[in-house]
Amino acid sequence: MTRALAGRTVLVTRPAHQAAALVRTIQSAGGEAFVFPALEIEAMPTADLSASLAQLVTADIVIFISPNAAQFCMAAIRALPAASRIFAVGPGTARVLQAQGIQDVVTPDGQDSEALLALPQLQEVTGKVVMIVRGVGGRPVLADTLAARGAEVHYLECYRRVRPQADAGPLLARWQAGGIDAVTVTSAETLHNLAGLLGEVGAPWLTATPLFAPHEKIAEAARRFGIAQVIATPGGDAGLVEGLINWFRNKP
């Protein structure tokens, strides 16, 4: 891979257990990754999932909307109904399922709810029972659209997102010294958590540093937040680093 990120330090805000791949990709492009998780993922207690797990047995269609959904759901159930069609929002989610022995996973070309809804297999769902596996909360467009198409839709919310308890002092010191060249975020919630952890002291540095997000919706949320330079990149870790490389290739 090109060394286009040589001399650049990129802030990685992914949850700690999901940061390693992005760090390696940044490093392989010659950059340095400063890891500061601004989001933490907690599994929901199994007892809280009992009603949803009972409904899962009857599901005709199971949709996993993130790698976390796949990881935490499979940890709770170990197996999926044999008759269900399995969908994943993107290749990262599919890989987690495949690692659990689930090979027949349908993924869309894009990596969001709209891409899933465009799949031909999800057009005629009248009378089908659909289980959407996700974290607590989230966008309703997938469930609302499938319900409008005649499906009976349920949620299995197997994890929750929380703001970590973290000391931002070392990051603020690095930023003050001009040592952070770019910020990466993979959700609007991560950005808001990061701002909260940095506080008023760090706000000027955050808003003035180029921010890279792997989806236009996240990028738009960052613009509304007040980030001066926001770059929407292709999806996944490779897409984020591709965006970083393209941006810095023409920078002095």
Q: What is the pLDDT along the chain (252 residues), one digit of tens a residue?
A: 578 899 999 999 999 988 999 999 999 999 999 999 999 999 898 888 888 888 888 899 999 999 999 988 888 886 777 778 999 998 889 999 999 888 889 999 887 889 999 999 999 999 999 999 999 988 899 999 999 999 999 999 999 999 999 999 999 999 999 999 999 999 999 999 999 999 999 999 999 999 999 989 999 999 999 999 999 998 888 899 999 999 998 776
Q: What is residue 252's predicted lDDT score, i.e. its pLDDT? A: 65
Q: What is residue 138's predicted lDDT score, i.e. its pLDDT? A: 81
- Alpha carbon of 123 to those of 118, 146, 238: distances in Å? 8, 8, 30
- Three-state DSSP class for 20? helix
Q: What is residue 246's predicted lDDT score, i.e. its pLDDT? A: 93
For the segment 52-79, what is each residue's pLDDT rounded down to a tens digit? 888 888 899 999 999 999 988 888 886 7
Domains of the chain: 1-39+163-195+234-252 (3.40.50.10090), 42-161 (3.40.50.10090)
168: which residues sit within 8 A by CB, 6+ positions away?
Answer: 36, 197, 198, 199, 202
Instruction: Tell me the C-alpha distance between 21 and 98, whole Å.
Output: 18
- Three-state DSSP class for 106? strand
Q: What is residue 100's predicted lDDT score, i.e. its pLDDT? A: 87
**Residues 115, 109 contacting (CB under 8 angstroms):** yes
Q: What is residue 29's predicted lDDT score, i.e. its pLDDT? A: 94
Q: What is residue 19's predicted lDDT score, i.e. its pLDDT? A: 93
- Beta-strand relationship, 152-162 and 40-43: antiparallel
- Alpha carbon of 197 to those of 186, 224, 227: distances in Å? 17, 19, 16
Query: Which residue(s) pair with 9 in the sheet?
Result: 32
- Alpha carbon of 74 to those of 2, 209, 225, 230, 237: distances in Å? 37, 38, 35, 35, 23
Q: What is residue 139's predicted lDDT score, i.e. its pLDDT? A: 84
**Residues 152, 140 contacting (CB under 8 angstroms):** no
CB atoms within 10 A of CB 77: 19
